[in-house]
Amino acid sequence: MLTGKHIVITGGTGSLGTVLVRRLLSGSLGTPEAITVFSRDEAKQHAMRLAYQRQESATDEVIYHNFERLLRFRIGDVRDYASVTSALRDADIVFNAAALKQVPTCEYFPYEAVKTNIDGAANIVRAIRDGKLDVQTVVGISTDKAVKPVNVMGMTKAVQERIFIQANLECPSTRFVCARYGNVLASRGSVIPLFHHQIRQGGPITITDAEMTRFLLSLEEAVDTILAALADGERGETYIPRVPSARVVDIADALVGERPIETIVSGIRPGEKVHEILVSEEESHQTVARDPYYVILPRLPELRRAEFEAPTLEREYSSRDDLMSSAELVGFLARHRLLPDSELVLEEDMLA
């Protein structure tokens, strides 16, 4: 599927980008001609370059042979139209992983979220349309927070989804699809590494709300969803993983075990949701099952396929439904090596 393709990953040094790069380099989907990591963080790019080349320190070879390698690095920002156009000039496939995604940060700096999450997506579409670029597929990477958004991060991601879906009309030679998923296990900034740290310190464990629930998804499963959208998605469709969920307080209890550690409720942070929703009630009427995924069909009538697909869901798909039992949760955490007795490895640190 990817043999001979030039792939560009915007925001490729982030949590998702690093795991996606590792999967693409594995050759399981074919050998690309080139994979370009496009981001504005030169330090992360340099660290990623060294990690993949197994170098302990920089050499002239590392610095000056960037564009002769399968894995390439390009400094730029999705906010800047000129740098986006330059990065996409020879691209066949684009994964848009660039985002401002920390919910409280977006609440305090809302227009910065607009510039990255909305203007960045618009720049990709504009570059393809106005430059008449031969990009075959763009995969927009979204979040559960785009569903019934109550925070700036979700609002901007909801608009980003619409920009990419509508782009199928503006750029008829390019297929635009989306992948939407929730919080990721053991990614930097997620709750499980926080709980591990609090347990090592002897507590207390902090819960923002006793009723809060979350889907449990690994970065590898997130990448699976993105690649499924790439492989099978029709123009304007949105792919969503079907994954288990649990109460956050039950996750904390499973991690604490028999340890004498106190749990306190600290209150919801700015813009935080009690439950994750991956498909809204309104979207459920145009959502079909393609195991192991739900797929939201395009909203725009011009993009709908002629054959009718009966919707699968009768209500919203929320993390408060079908919660795992305590025993199921402990088993799940053990299988993913997430219990405190095992060594926790942040998934974006596993470059190879």
Alpha helices, H only, 53-181: 60-64, 81-87, 103-108, 110-113, 120-130, 152-170
- Top mean-pLDDT range of 69-73, 86-90, 104-108, 335-339: 86-90
DSSP 114: I
Kindly state whether residue 72 falls inside one of the protein's structural domains: yes
pLDDT tens profile 8-53:
999 999 888 989 999 999 889 999 999 999 999 999 999 998 888 7
Percent residues over pLDDT 70 in the chain: 92
Q: What is the mean pLDDT of residues 210-239?
A: 95
Say what the pLDDT of residue 143 is. 95
List b or e across 220-258, with b for residues whose CB sees 16 or more CB atoms inside 10 angstroms.
ebbbbbbbbbbeebebbbbbbbebebbbbbbbbebbbee
Structurally, the chain folds into a number of domains equal to: 1
In-domain check, residue 252: no
- Asked if residue 188 belongs to a domain, the reply is no
Q: From CA 305, how far away is CA 280, in angstroms rounded?
A: 22
DSSP element (H, E) containing 249: helix 248-256
One-letter amino acid identity for 275? H
Does any domain span residue 191? no
What's the CATH code of the domain at 30?
A: 3.40.50.720
Q: Is residue 83 assigned to a domain?
A: yes
Any domain includes 198:
no
Q: Which two tokens stand for residue 121?
A: 């997506």
Residues classed as catalytic: 145
| DSSP β-ladder status, 71-75 and 213-215 | unpaired
Cβ partners under 8 Å of residue 105, min gap 6: 113
Mapped onto helix, strand or coil, the DSSP state of residue 264 is strand
Beta bridge partners of 34: 6
Q: Look over the chain and give the mean of its residue pLDDT values, rounded to a whole number.
A: 90
Domain annotation covers residue 89: yes
Within 10 A of 134 (CB to CB), how many other CB atoms are there? Answer: 13
Q: Which domain holds residue 152?
A: 6-182+216-242+277-316
| Stronger pLDDT, 172 or 342, i.e. the higher one | 172
Residue 238 lies in a domain: yes
pLDDT of residue 8: 98
